[in-house]
Amino acid sequence: MGYYLKDPQAAVDYSVDWGAGYLDGQTVSGSVWSVAPDEEGGVRVVAETVLPTRTAATLEGGVAGKVYRVGNQVTLSDGRTDERTLVLRVEER
């Protein structure tokens, strides 16, 4: 999906626009965010939002110099599932 930089002290919102020519009348009915690796002091999801065609998460923390994979798996109104992943590098900024 994309490569992003984040400061370890920042709380930043990231979103996925599922409706951009993709859903064809469907809506997002559920969303689960995950971070790998799951480690002490690592990036964590502190808030989530689910809208009909978009999902968002607020991410905090992280260890400077580390790279994290942040995944968003959604369930659509017809029961199908899909996932998008972004790569997040934490750096002092």
Look at residue 23 and give its three-state secondary structure.
coil
Instruction: State pTM to two decimals.
Output: 0.91
Domains and CATH numbers, the chain: 2-90 (2.60.40.10)
| pLDDT for 14 beyond 90 | yes
| Chain segment 21-58, per-residue pLDDT in tens | 778 889 999 999 999 999 999 999 999 999 999 999 99
Q: Please give the Cα distance from 41 to 25 (Å, whole number).
A: 40
84-93 burial, b if ≥16 CB within 10 A, otherwise e? eebebebeee
What pLDDT is attached to residue 36? Answer: 98
